Structure 1
Amino acid sequence: MTERFVQRLSGIHAATVVPMRADFSVDEEALAAHIAGVTAVPGIRGLLINGHAGENFVLSPAEKRRVVEIARAASPKDCLIVSGVNHESSLEAAREAAEMEQAGADGLLVFPPNSWALGHADDCTLLHHRLIAEATSLPLMLYGAPVGAGAMSYAPRVLARLVEDPRFVAIKDGSWEVAAYEENLRLIRALRPDFAVLGSGDEHLLTSYVIGSAGSQVSLAAVVPELVVALWDAAEAGDWTRARAVHEALYPLSVAIYRDAPGGRATARLKTCLKLLGRLGSDALRPPQPPCDTRETAALAAALAAAGAQVRTAA
């Protein structure tokens, strides 16, 4: 099962959002439509659900389970479904892992607790991952946090120890910094050649593909899946002229969503993009994140247009 799971991680996997109603409850019908629409795009090989784009830090355990169940029902049978596991408590994270397996996930991505950004002992990291591994039989993935996320980003010595655990078979590397991505890739390949490294920094996908990547789990693929697939296909074919052209179309959108100040606004901006494209009726998200303001919305609309997407509605 593990070898097959690693093989299925190849290519583009969309990290999806969770539509909300005006009262901040999960809109299950809209969620099913969102997932069905994304997975219908040729070249989308799987999903990352209950990730950061899916507001996993503000969903209840029951809501996360429903997200898995809905994704399973709304996506094609051959769609690989990876669910994030994100909780400050290792015991609760372990329970969540077991729940996601029961709900139908094919694999799990273990996020470091947000509190780790302030600092933590190496053994804390190892214990957290061990407890989750003991709670499930599913293939497990690591999450490489952005270098700007403080101590949440694993130092090479910690990453090496995590990779030694055979229960973990892949990493979503979101270093968001090219040198760190390459350093992690080389470290992991030396330790575990069978370990899948997914270059998943939305702003530097092209560079990741030049250096080497097994695939990507990215929220950009939930907004413009055709373009992200085109970038991957061009890179796989070694057509770097075409890959660079697709990158140029994607770059302004990636900046508008992920880089423009203030930080931490990606989920709000992803939802607004989907609303602008007419694929989401509401761009509501749970507090404390406010909705996009007029400046953000205008920047997103311009970036979508630059990417060749048709903006259908006004936010």
Structure 2
Amino acid sequence: MATKSSPPPHGVYVPAVLFMDEKEDLDIPSIKAHVLRLAQARILVQGSNGEAQHLSHDERKLAIATTRQTLDENGFKHVIVIAGTGGQSTRETKKLNADAKEAGATYALVLTPSVWPPQMTKPNIIRFHREVADASPIPTMIYNFPVVTAGLDLDSDTITTLAAHPNIVGTKLSCGNIGKLQRLTSALPSSDFATFPGKSDVFLQGLVSGSAGVIGALPNVAPKAHIQLLKLYEEGKLQEAVKLQALLGHADWQLGKIGSIAGIKAIVSKHFGYGQTHVRGPLAPQQLQDAAVDKLEELIALEKSL
């Protein structure tokens, strides 16, 4: 039997947005600036927040390579890059995994195909992820995000079955289901399989339930605050952690109501001095003036104080 690949380390991971110019081309200087601000956390490139499904293969590879190069050139060679690589066919996903490896990614985060939901039975989902992992030159993780996979929601039995594969080493649960997360963490040793919630509003709840940290959109805005919560929890300062978690939960909710990807770009551009609000159609830019952002503003003030 093949040796089990190692999972990603415990911590805060950021599915980084990719900044674009008015022509919807990649804005490389702003992408580099964002990577450097996030570098104290670990980086996920080509997640849903990175508009992966709206990019060409060459653009996806360029974004990963730019991220890896920027980290390496600025003293962050230790920072892990996870690449979102889900395609709508097994063949395409295998190619995206190979590209991610060539571009410098350490892990691949794989969405379940969703163009034909009725065909994606449990046996077919398991077969897809196993075939992708068999061929992948880097360890893979299962990305469960029903909102972007036509409602497909992998249950804990399916993920546990897949976790037995030697090259499948973790999962991101953007379903936000803490019961599912705890079933996985209690059944699978953390040394073999890392289980992450995909939402900041259950970050602390996930830690209490044995998660490996968080992979969430909100750290694009406030990576230091998330690292602070992890530190408070590890130091046993639960009351302080609960208070900070409440702020993260409210801020995450406000970010979602703005429109996560476009909202992140608008907030980062306004408060951190780089990047524009352009997104790739059919997404639309978001304006902040009519949105309730008081908790986001409070979180940003905290972020800048840390």
In the alignment of these two chains, the number of paired residues is 298
Q: Hey, what does 2:297 align to over in structure 1?
A: 305
1:268 is displaced (CA, Å) by 1.3
1:49 matches 2:49: no
Partner of residue 69, structure 1 = 65
Describe the shift of the 1:253–1:158 C-alpha distance in structure 2 as closer, same or farther (beyond 3 A).
Answer: same
Q: What is the alpha-carbon distance in structure 1 between the residues aligned to residue 169 and residue 180 of structure 2?
A: 20
Superposition TM-score, scaled by structure 1 size: 0.86
Counterpart-to-counterpart distance in 2, 1:221 and 1:294: 18
Code of the residue aligned with 2:157 in structure 1: it is: R
**Aligned partners of 1:26 and 1:70: how far apart in 2?**
11
Q: Distance in 1 between matches of 2:148 and 2:275?
A: 33
CA distance in 1, matches of 2:169, 2:303: 39
Equivalences for residues 1-315 of structure 1 within 5 A: 5-6=6-7, 8-39=8-39, 41=40, 44=41, 46-75=42-71, 76-115=76-115, 120-146=120-146, 151-189=151-189, 194-258=192-256, 260=257, 265-294=259-288, 298-300=291-293, 302-309=294-301
Question: 2:201, 2:245 within 8 Å by CA — same for their partners in 1?
Answer: no
- Distance in structure 1 (CA, Å) of the matches to 2:112 and 2:19: 24
Shift of 1:306: 2.1
CA distance in 2, matches of 1:67, 1:187: 35
Contact 2:45/2:81, CA 8 A, preserved across alignment: yes
Deviates more, 1:158-167 or 1:60-69: 158-167
C-alpha offsets along residues 185-205 of structure 1, whole Å, 9 cap, x if unaligned? 33445xx86212123322111
Deviations 1:161-193 (A, max 9, x none): 21121110111222213333323433445xx86
Retained in 1: the 8 A contact 2:200–2:248? no
Post-superposition shift, 1:131? 3.0
Letter in 1 for 2:268: L
Q: What is the CA RMSD across the aligned residues, in angstroms? A: 2.6
Shift of 1:53: 0.8
Q: Between the two proteins, what is the percent identity of the paired residues?
A: 22
Q: CA deviation at 1:288?
A: 0.8
Letter in 1 for 2:265: K
Give the 3-state SS of the residue equivalent to 1:20 in structure 2: coil
Unpaired runs of 5+ residues, structure 2, are: none
The normalised TM-score by structure 2 is 0.88
Distance 2:165 2:241 in 1: 35
* CA distance, structure 2, for counterparts of residue 4 and residue 156 of structure 1: 21
Aligned-pair CA distance for 1:118: 5.7
What CA deviation, in whole Å up to 9, does each residue of 1:93-146 have, x standing for no partner? 111111111111111111112436566212321232233223322111111325
Please give the alpha-carbon distance, in whole angstroms, between the structure 2 residues aligned to 1:102 and 1:222.
25
Unaligned runs of 5+ in 1: none
User: Against the structure 1 CA distance between its residues 153 and 277, is the aligned structure 2 distance closer, same or farther, given a 3 Å change threshold?
Assistant: same
Aligned letter for 2:261?
A: T
Task: Tell me, yes or no, if the aligned pair for 2:5 and 2:168 is still in contact at 8 Å.
Answer: no
